[in-house]
């Protein structure tokens, strides 16, 4: 995930200041993650479409279904897309359950073709893409984590201070009002950013990876305790889907914050490492 090496020397003290915010290893890891997450999402949805339902337990038991997407026909024969979450049922024609395929015809499929890799139905190819970029993502994450510990970046930039935790309510209000830090405060991540990164790094990502491994029959045979941890292969698939959705939500919020807080300044900092800080008022 994106991280920073904040607190470098600046060239000015009055007016805007440019600091060296992101070290080269951090920038490389960030852009590798961008590519990996993009392809993992789209190939993962291709895999999900092979059986667009989620269950609890070890088997695909309809009584234990927590989510499903598909097409049904109304009384007059008109097909409609339906998404069911627990006991709630939603019409999602054109997006989920029933959407246009490559040829423009409506197809019974979980997610639409424009958001899957490949766009046509091909489970084997989707799995190959997913597994390759999953391992690349894991190796990149390990390299970034080792660098963060070795360089002091993790302790210095990602662990919230006691002062930040005490003022978390103030930070929440600032974010709701789109008030972004300036001056000295802009050189450091705020407590909400730090907590979000820690949640992703130490909760969502490990659970996503572990649940993904649990879906492998070969690994289950070698490490049967994995099934006990999640309560069955279908539960692991559900946990994998939920955690991956949490990561997508994190990325969405991250992109929104990049857009509203200064697109060029944020992009430049992740390409060149240089970040412009406005003076405190």
Residue 92 near residue 6, CB atoms below 8 Å: no
Question: From first to last of its 281 residues, what are the pLDDT tens digits of the chain?
Answer: 444 444 444 444 566 788 888 899 999 999 999 999 999 999 999 999 999 999 999 999 999 999 999 999 988 889 999 999 999 999 999 999 999 887 778 899 999 999 999 999 999 999 999 999 999 999 999 999 999 999 988 888 888 888 888 888 888 887 777 777 776 676 678 888 889 999 999 999 999 999 999 999 888 888 999 999 999 999 999 999 999 999 999 999 999 988 988 899 989 999 998 988 877 66
Q: What pLDDT does residue 247 have? A: 96
CA 51/CA 271 separation, integer angstroms = 40
Query: Which two three-digit tokens encode residue 223?
Result: 């490490």
Instruction: Give all domains of the chain, ordered by start, each with its CATH number.
Output: 17-51+120-277 (1.20.950.20), 54-110 (no CATH)
Helix axes 205-214, 123-151, angle to 10 degrees: 140
Beta strands 88-91 and 17-20, pairing class: unpaired
Q: What is the pLDDT of residue 178?
A: 76
Both structure tokens of 164: 């930040």
The gap between the terminal CA atoms of the chain, to the nearest Å, is 31
Rounded to two decimals, the pTM is: 0.87
Distance CA 29, CA 57 (A): 36
What are the residues whose beta carbons fall under 8 Å from the beta carbon of 209, sequence distance 6 or more?
A: 134, 138
**Nearest partner of 108 among 123, 119, 98, judged by Cα:** 98
**Are 70 and 97 contacting, i.e. CB atoms less than 8 angstroms apart?**
yes
Angle at alpha carbon of residue 141, lines to 136 and 143, rounded to 5°: 95
pLDDT score at 91:
95
The pLDDT score that the predictor gives to residue 183 is: 67
């Amino acid at each position: 995930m994106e991280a920073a090496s904040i607190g470098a020397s600046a060239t000015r003290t009055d007016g805007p200041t440019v600091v060296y915010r992101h070290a080269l290893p951090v920038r490389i890891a960030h852009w590798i993650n961008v590519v990996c997450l993009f392809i993992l999402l789209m190939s993962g949805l291709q895999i999900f479409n092979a059986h667009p339902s989620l269950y609890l337990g070890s088997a695909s038991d309809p009584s234990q279904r927590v989510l499903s997407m598909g097409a049904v026909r109304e009384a007059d024969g008109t097909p409609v897309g339906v998404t069911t979450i627990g006991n709630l049922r939603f019409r999602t024609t054109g997006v989920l359950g029933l959407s246009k395929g490559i040829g423009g015809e409506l197809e019974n499929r979980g997610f639409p073709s424009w958001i899957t890799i490949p766009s046509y139905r091909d489970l084997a190819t989707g799995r190959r893409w997913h597994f390759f970029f999953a391992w690349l993502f894991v190796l990149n994450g390990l390299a970034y984590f080792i660098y963060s510990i070795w360089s002091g970046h993790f302790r210095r930039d990602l662990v919230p201070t006691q002062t930040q935790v005490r003022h978390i309510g103030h930070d929440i209000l600032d974010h709701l009002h789109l008030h972004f830090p300036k001056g000295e405060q802009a050189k450091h991540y705020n407590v909400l950013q730090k907590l979000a990164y820690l949640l992703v790094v130490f909760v969502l990502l490990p659970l996503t990876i572990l649940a993904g491994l649990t879906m492998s029959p070969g690994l289950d045979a070698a490490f049967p305790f994995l099934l006990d941890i999640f309560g069955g292969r279908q539960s692991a698939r559900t946990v994998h889907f939920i955690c991956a959705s949490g990561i997508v939500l994190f990325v969405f919020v991250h992109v929104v914050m990049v857009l509203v807080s200064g697109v060029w300044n944020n992009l430049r900092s992740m390409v060149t490492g240089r970040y412009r800080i406005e003076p405190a008022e």
